[in-house]
């Protein structure tokens, strides 16, 4: 029994398995098959697993955030609040870039996507099930 517990702990440490809140141990390979909707928090950041339909909705939401920041750029530039204009411009660009990346990755697969975001706001999108 001790060997089994040590193996489970090793699998969790290597991100090969997760322990759910109810104590159930699940192999990651079973979770990554396709079209999962979940959030996994890791030491380096967060991974969002979106099914194909959820990825479409997420890309749309990120696009709305980008457009909202873009409207802020117009308003702050009109009021000559240049530091705010630069900040909102960078935000609009960042969220628009995430929206485009999610849309492009989602269009290339029917298995859903993974959006991984580090604590430093660096992101990467990839298909699920790879």
Secondary structure in 3-state letters for the chain: CHHHHHHHHHHHHCCCEEECCCCCEEEHHHHCCCCCCEEEEECCEEEEEECHHHHHHHHHHHHHHHHHHHHHHHHHHHCCCHHHHHHHHHHHHHHHHHHHHHHHHHHCCCCCEEEEEECCCCEEEEECCC
Query: What mean pLDDT comes out for the span 57-85?
Result: 83
Domain ranges of the chain: 1-31, 34-127
Give the mean pLDDT of the chain: 82
**Total-model pTM:** 0.65
- Model pLDDT, residue 27: 63
Confidence (pLDDT) at 28: 61
């Amino acid at each position: 029994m001790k060997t089994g517990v040590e193996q489970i702990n090793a699998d969790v440490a290597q991100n090969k398995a997760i322990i759910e809140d109810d104590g159930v141990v699940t192999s990651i390979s079973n979770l990554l098959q396709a079209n999962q909707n979940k959030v996994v928090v890791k030491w380096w950041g967060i991974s969002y697993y979106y099914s194909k339909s959820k990825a479409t909705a997420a890309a749309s939401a990120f696009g709305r955030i980008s457009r909202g920041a873009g409207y802020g750029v117009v308003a702050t530039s009109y009021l000559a609040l240049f530091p705010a204009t630069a900040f909102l411009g960078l935000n609009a660009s960042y969220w628009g870039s995430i929206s485009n990346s999610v849309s492009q990755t989602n269009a290339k697969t029917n298995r859903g996507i993974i959006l991984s975001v580090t604590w430093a706001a660096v992101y990467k999108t990839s298909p699920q099930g790879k």
